[in-house]
Amino acid sequence: MKKKKGIIILCVAIFIVIFSYTQNNLLSTTKITVRSGMLPSTFDGYKIVQLSDLHSKQFGKNQTRLVKRVETERPNIIVFTGDLVDQKKADEESNITLMKKLANIAPTYFVTGNHEFWSGNAAEIEKAVQQVGVNVLRNGYERIEKGGEEIYIAGMDDPAIMEDSSGESIAVEDNLQKVLDGVSEDAYTILLSHRPEMFSIYQQQNIDLIFSGHAHGGQLRLPFLGGLVAPDQGLFPEYTAGKYIENDSVLIVNRGLGNSIIPQRIFNRPEIVSVTLERE
């Protein structure tokens, strides 16, 4: 009887170890379609791969597994929505190696997350990322042209740059107006901004498509309830993963790739998001 009980305990322990490992390390790809009548016809079928919240985690030597998964999607552009580094592991060479490899696949755009600023090395990180060919969007925008037509892609610094967190929403609202100054209201506009909980502010500027991260998928995902807890949203957060549509604005929230304060993911594997734009 004791032997049988011991075997059961051992099997349960092995299962927990395997389950925990796969939840933190087995990459998943989520495919999402976004339709809009504002999208220029030449961008119909345009593909965007989003990565977020790596937190210095590695997926194989020199990030080989992650890079191969991105390559299979054959993206037109790649966007990275913050927390490439973790505040405790901010200077790892593998982070820059990843960004260089991504830039070799397709034009790559990057915005900061809170951990870039918390690390104290935000300026150095941005410089290193730029040097390997990545477009760093620091409260600005760029035009993307295709077949004689264009869309706009804008990016915002994470408000963690502020010392007073109570003013983050106001700062985002003010910065966003400045970021979009000069962008036509009729132009299809994409925004990269780390914080999904600011969705109501993004909508005020009539942005067509927003890419965010930060929520880590809610860390633990429960059936029918979604994520359990997220930074700056608390328990049972509203925006944790997938596509949200409000007032003609679409928000894509990436569950992220790595962990920070909480070391374990549950029913919430590391995520690559692949978005296909379609003209409606």
Report, as an integer, the average pLDDT of 244-253: 96
Report, as an integer, the average pLDDT of 175-182: 90
The CATH number of 2-279 is 3.60.21.10
Q: What pTM does this model have?
A: 0.95
Report, as an integer, the average pLDDT of 185-200: 96
pLDDT for 164 beyond 70:
no
The pLDDT, as a whole number, for residue 91 is 67
Residue 261, C-beta contacts closer than 8 angstroms, at least 6 positions apart? none
The pLDDT, as a whole number, for residue 163 is 66
Q: What is the pLDDT of residues 28-83, one digit of tens each?
A: 999 999 999 999 999 999 999 999 999 999 999 999 999 999 999 999 999 999 99
> How do the domains of the chain map onto residue ranges?
2-279
